[in-house]
Structures are given as C-alpha cells and as structure tokens.
Structure 1
Amino acid sequence: MAPTTSTTSTASTTSLASVTLEVTDPEAARRFYTAFGVGDRIGLRASDAPSTGFRGFTLALTVAGPATVDGFVAAAVAAGATPLKPGAKSLWGYGGVVQAPDGTVWKVATSAKKDTGPATGEIDEVVLLLGVQDVKAAKRFYADRGLTVARSFGGKYAEFAAGESGVVKLALYKRGGLAKDLGVPAEGAGSHRVVLGSTGAPFTDPDGFVWEAAAPRTPASS
C-alpha cells in the first residue's frame, strides 16, 4: 500500500458521500452486513484485487452503552466474523473489535463504561478511520479539498465534520497507532479494498486511498 501522489488541484472541494467495500463475494458480504446491522451504511462491489495484512483502515460504530456494543459484536461473530478484541473497558469507555469475513476490520465502541438502560441495537455514528503515515500532512491535504476539521489532536488524530450524506464520518489516525488499537499487525500490502465516494472530483490521497465521483449507493442490505 505504497503512498501515491495526487495531482488534483487544491481548488476543488469535496465531502464524503459514501463508503464502498470491495469484496470477493458481494452476496455473502451482503448477508453478513445485513445480519451485523450496518447494511444501510455501506456499499459493496466485487473485486479480486490482491490485499494482504492490515488494509490501513477501520470502520467504527459509536453506540449508547456496553450492552449495545456486546450486541453488535455478538451479531457479527454469529454471522461469521472473527473476534479480534472482546468487549472490554478502556480509558475512553468500552469497545470490541471484529474482522468481517471479507477482511474488513470493525470496531464497536461507546464512551460509557456502564449501561444506563438495555441494549438498543441502534448506531449513533459510523466513522471511517484511515490509517495514515503523517496525520498533519493528510489533514492539510483533505482540508485543502474542502473538508472541515472538527477535531484534531496534534499528529495523532484528526476528525472531519460529517459530509452531506451524514452516513459515515471521516477521521485520520496514525497507521501504527490504529493497528495497535485494533489488535492487528500494522504491516499490509496491496489494495486497501475500500473506495470513498466524493462529491467533488476523483483523486487518490497520499496514502493510496481512492476517492471516486459518488454514484448512487447500493446499500449492503438491499
């Protein structure tokens, strides 16, 4: 996953309109993501592009409490996901990590350490975290293309305001730190196996993540 250089003019603007996962078997993936409960948040399309190890990103679900985290993790595992980190308390709350059958790593987390009610099965927010080599440089790259920085923590993390679709929010994380947080080795090669839908012109970012002109999204649950 060697970085590539974009020649896109910084005069263009964009926002994140969609996230499409490239999978070997779209029908099998659709069944999984419907059972997981996120089928209306992402798109799927067929791809046999070579990819090994960590793909450099994760999709994170933010939910209300630990019981809801456990519910989503259990649903994913029952549908065929591999547990990478069981639900557990941390400094920031409570969370668990699973790897979908197609290879995508998902994190489910809450800032709450105790439940204030029963599991809801509802998703408050979905965040696409890109693992990048240089967070500050990547943040500048995206800000130059019209994304609004909502939160930033030095060279470790940056988060952008939700795009027009409001389906998925974009954030940047140091690649090694993201892999450590997910409990996977940071090494990886080949395709990221994810395509971001752009409301502006297509481009490829410095870490090789591809943005294409957004097309009507086919939800994984359809």
Structure 2
Amino acid sequence: MANIASVLLEVADVTAADRFYTTAFGLGEQLALRASDEPTTGFRGFIMALTVSQPADVDHLIAAARDAGATTLKPAAKSLWGYGGVVQAPDGTIWKIATSAKKNTGPATGRVDETVLLLGVADVVASKRFYAEHGLTVGKSFGRVYAEFASGPGEVKLALYRRRALAKDVGVDPDGSGSRRLAITGTGPRAAFTDPDGFAWESAVPAVGR
C-alpha cells in the first residue's frame, strides 16, 4: 500500500450527501460515498481537513458548507498556527478548514491545496509503526502527539492524532459508539486490513479471481 486512493464516507442518503459535497467543497475522486444505516452516535474518531492558501479561502469554504446545510462547530478564527474553523456536514462528518497564513494575498479562489484524513488513535507511536509496516512513509512525527505520512500531488494525506486531543481540537466530546461510517480505500498489495483502532481499509484493486 503506497497511498490513499480515496476516503469512503458511509451516509444515510447518498444523493443528499453528494449534493452537499459537490456544492460545498467540490471534491472529486478523493471522496466517495456509500449508503449505510449502521447506527452511530457521538464522535466517530476521525475528521477530514482541508488545507487552503489564505484566510479568505477558509471563509469562502465554510460559508459554502453552511449554505449547503453544514453546522458550525468552531467559527473561523486566528490562532498561533494560522486561521481556521470547523463544520459538521449533514451526514455527520466533521470537516476542519484551515490555513497557516494569517493574511490574505488576494481574493478567495475556493481552491483546496490539500485534503487530509486525521485519525484519532489511542497510541500515536504504535499506529505510526503499524502504518509504516504497511508501506506508508512517515513525513512528520512529533513523538506521541502527532504523525503524518507522505503523499503525492492530489492524494489524500493520512495523519494521526490522539483521539481526545483531536476531539478537543474540533470542539466535540471524545465519546462515541457504533459505526465510524468510514472506509479508507488504499493502493498496493496489502491495502485491505483493519488498523489497531478499528479503522477499516479496502483495496482499490480487487484481488485476482474476484
């Protein structure tokens, strides 16, 4: 497995979810949808993050998401690391839109520079080691706090954060139960597995003979 082919969100209404994501973020092949009625409550243990180039683009995408039906969890605001805000899509997925820039250099473009899947894990070091053994290359690592893996242009980046810290960062209670409503589609010969925190990966290429 070399990278994430796409993130598959399981939703109650595929048509409505597709309309939301097309209108709000304009994401293409990086995001897929699948119908599911599996029960889920509270924090699902992951978020999606969109990195953009300037504050104007954060405001633009958050406004587009709210107009399409998202709920604000954290209004966009400045911080030590930049500028960002958090919304929750109608299907329940949490999205963080952020930039490291603190000043605008021009009008909003609505362009997403990077899409990140952030998993909330029990042990960052153990999960980092697990994913490295499954073919991902560590890009950045900050001890037991955070790790991210290398990704190519247009690919979804995988990052790991402690579950409670991730929930706090996006302004929700860390407790949750039931389905995660998430599947990760990977490439490579070892792309189908379940990680130590229960996140399921599926192969982008069916096995021979199937």
Question: What is the TM-score of this pair, normalised by structure 1?
Answer: 0.88
- What's the offset of the Cα at 1:114? 1.1
Is the aligned partner of 1:208 residue 2:198?
Answer: yes
Separation in 1, partners of 2:25, 2:78: 23
Contact 1:197 1:215 in 2 (8 A): no
Contact 1:160 1:169 in 2 (8 A): yes
Separation in 2, partners of 1:131, 1:38: 25
Is the aligned partner of 1:117 residue 2:118?
Answer: no
* Identity percentage of aligned residues: 66
Higher relative contact order structure (alpha carbons within 8 Å, sequence separation ≥ 6): 1
Among residues 94, 117, 138, which one is paired with 1:105 in the alignment?
Answer: 94
- What is the total number of aligned residue pairs between the two structures? 203
Q: Determine the structure 2 residue equivalent to 1:29.
A: 17
AA aligned opposite 1:183 = G
Alignment of 1:109-188 (within 5 A): 109-162=98-151, 166-188=154-176
Spell out, residue by residue over 1:115-154, the C-alpha distance to the aligned partner (whole angstroms, 9 max, x if none): 1111111010000000000000000000011100000011
Separation in 1, partners of 2:60, 2:15: 23
Separation in 2, partners of 1:80, 1:157: 31
Alignment of 1:42-61 (within 5 A): 42-61=31-50
Contact 2:114 2:154 in 1 (8 A): no
Separation in 1, partners of 2:61, 2:110: 7
- What's the offset of the Cα at 1:68? 0.5
Separation in 2, partners of 1:153, 1:147: 17
Question: What is the TM-score of this pair, normalised by structure 2?
Answer: 0.93
Q: Determine the structure 1 residue equivalent to 2:3.
A: 15
Spell out, residue by residue over 1:62-101, the C-alpha distance to the aligned partner (whole angstroms, 9 max, x if none): 0011111000000000000000011100110000100000
Question: What's the secondary structure of 2:57's corresponding residue?
Answer: helix
Consecutive unaligned residues of structure 2, counting only runs of 5 or more, are none
Contact 2:118 2:160 in 1 (8 A): yes
Separation in 1, partners of 2:123, 2:154: 26
Q: Please tell me the root mean square deviation across aligned C-alpha atoms, in Å.
A: 1.4
Q: Determine the structure 2 residue equivalent to 1:82.
A: 71
Spell out, residue by residue over 1:159-182, the C-alpha distance to the aligned partner (whole angstroms, 9 max, x if none): 00116x833110000101100000
Question: What's the secondary structure of 1:76's corresponding residue?
Answer: helix
